[in-house]
Chains A and B, each alone.
Chain A
Amino acid sequence: MSIASTSQLAVPAVVAFLLGGAVAAALAAEHTIHQKGKVFSAAELAIKKGDMVTFLNDDNITHNVLSITPGNDFNLGAIGPGHSTPVTFTKVAVVDIICAIHPSMKMQVKVTD
């Protein structure tokens, strides 16, 4: 039995790699959270592991989206109007999120399997 040469395997291997990646990414859902009027557009958001939440600043002032749940920390920094930032949640968790500048802006992301 002969062993296949590297060049004969390379193309299908690369294709399979891309296919696997596309399949993984295509299974994830996307959600958008608006910040217009100094309020998050949803107080609670239920998502699946691997989903992406886009934080969109469609307000007329700067916001600083921040997670206050240890282990699921993130800080988007000061983001001005007219910008959006995607955040992918990869683990099952309940994540409390505020705007650091306007802490009355609060929401919770519930990540499940």
Chain B
Amino acid sequence: MLSSVTTAHKLARSEQIMMLADRTRGVATAPGWSGFVVVLCAMIIAMAVISTRSDANVIVGATRTIELPRQADQSIDQLRAAYRRPKVIPFPKSNPYTLEKAQLGKILYFDTRLSAANVLSCASCHSPAYGWGDGQPRGVGHGMRVLGRRSPTIINAAFGLIFMWDGRAATLEQQALGPIQADVEMNLPLEDLLARLKAIPEYSPLFKAAFAEQEITAPQIANAIATYERTVVSARAPFDAWIEGDEKAISDTAKRGFVTFNTKGNCANCHSGWNFTDDSFHDIGLPSEDVGRGKFLTSVVKMQYAFKTPGLREIARRGPYMHDGTVSTLDAVVEHYDKGGIDRPSRSELMKPLRLTTQEKSDLVAFLNTLTSTLVPTAVPVLPR
């Protein structure tokens, strides 16, 4: 196909054609104007055909294999350097940190009056008591209804690139008002939410201190809650002490587990970096009918049954695991990956049977246990009346 030929090659080819045309002009003895018209029409047709081969605006050509230079393997010290904790929590320019916003956000986060039945707050499902989740296989919403997926943690959400298991919220601000309004969750329409908060006198000075605006609005609520959520970060874990050079901080078993995590276990391809997530979407071959992100990208095979890679900080205290809480222990998680999951077209290329030894499996779990920090207990705020 002409489209896959390089520019240099194409120019050479047109030169060849020019030479061929020169030679054939001598042979053909077509009389005068009729021959000329035929030739001109052929050229115009050719240019039209090549330029717009179909009605499609975009034409995809054939995929070719190319040779890539071989990459050197990383040393364990280079690997450790890639896992250093950041020193600063990022806040977006559109919603910068202020103490007043964070304080208001914390109050809203714990306020059950943000739900229709006055019993559910953000903290009900994203609770500091359970590693900022709820310890359940799946969340429980309005009227004690069991929801479709497990409540994700908000730990280190400040560093996230996209939110929710299927990635449908681009920012924390976008996510914050979702569960409040969802009929299966907190079930409170926005006008009712605003009316309630305006009717609580002690909220008024808190909103004014945070936003200096006359009226309480929905964007302010989202911005305050998101600001508070960004302050929830994992503390320094034994793993971090080892990364920073304390060789006694973790056991030799855990150190071997870290190496397996980055090599034979194939874990770091998705659970990458200091927060152990690539914020990307993969089908890991779980037997669930939930198509995850595939619901929004129905024509993309790799997005069927694909869910966002969760982070692994505090993971030992955050079971049960997976988007539906069907895997109860870290040993069972490792088993799932060792087997490779259901082999189907949507399954990530990175999932395959690993053939880990019993030692390698227990090393991995020992390593994962070093990601637990001593989280400072969170004081529940006194709510405005």
Interface membership of chain A positions 77-96, coded 1 if the CB is closer than 8 angstroms to chain B and 0 otherwise: 11111111111111101010
- Asked if A77 and B24 make an inter-chain contact with CB atoms under 8 angstroms apart, the answer reads no
With a cutoff of 8 Å between Cβ atoms, the chain B residues found around residue A16 in the complex are 21, 38-40, 42-43, 46
- Asked if B199 is an interface residue, CB under 8 A from chain A, the answer is no
Nearest A residue to B2, CB-CB: A25
- Asked if B30 is an interface residue, CB under 8 A from chain A, the answer is yes
Distance of A22 from chain B, by nearest CB (Å): 4
- Asked if A21 and B47 make an inter-chain contact with CB atoms under 8 angstroms apart, the answer reads yes
- A6-65 interface with B by 8 A CB criterion: 8-9, 11-26, 29-30, 38, 50, 52, 56, 58, 60-62, 64
Q: How large is the interface on B (under 10, 10 to 19, 20 to 34, 35 or more residues)?
A: 35 or more
Distance of B36 from chain A, by nearest CB (Å): 9
Interface membership of chain B positions 282-314, coded 1 if the CB is closer than 8 angstroms to chain A and 0 otherwise: 100000000000000101111100100000000
Interface membership of chain B positions 45-58, coded 1 if the CB is closer than 8 angstroms to chain A and 0 otherwise: 11101111000111
With A19-B18, A61-B350, A89-B58 in contact, is A12–B269 under 8 Å at CB?
no
Q: When chains A and B are docked, how far (Å) is the Cα of A76 from the Cα of B60?
A: 8
- Asked if A15 and B21 make an inter-chain contact with CB atoms under 8 angstroms apart, the answer reads yes
- B1-35 interface with A by 8 A CB criterion: 2-7, 10-11, 13-14, 17-18, 20-21, 24-25, 27-31, 34-35
With a cutoff of 8 Å between Cβ atoms, the chain A residues found around residue B13 in the complex are 22
Q: Could you say which of A2, A76, A90, A101 contacts B56, with CB atoms under 8 Å apart? A: A90
Q: When chains A and B are docked, how far (Å) is the Cα of A23 from the Cα of B297?
A: 39
Q: When chains A and B are docked, how far (Å) is the Cα of A103 from the Cα of B170?
A: 10
Interface membership of chain B positions 77-119, coded 1 if the CB is closer than 8 angstroms to chain A and 0 otherwise: 0000000000000000000000000000000000000000000
- B residues near A (Cβ < 8 Å) are 2-7, 10-11, 13-14, 17-18, 20-21, 24-25, 27-31, 34-35, 38-40, 42-47, 49-52, 56-68, 71, 161-162, 167, 269, 278-282, 297, 299-303, 306, 348-350
Given contacts A30-B7, A62-B302, A86-B4, list 4 more A-B pairs with CB under 8 A.
Answer: A11-B24, A19-B21, A78-B349, A104-B279
- A residues near B (Cβ < 8 Å) are 1-4, 8-9, 11-26, 29-30, 38, 50, 52, 56, 58, 60-62, 64, 66-67, 71-91, 93, 95, 100-104
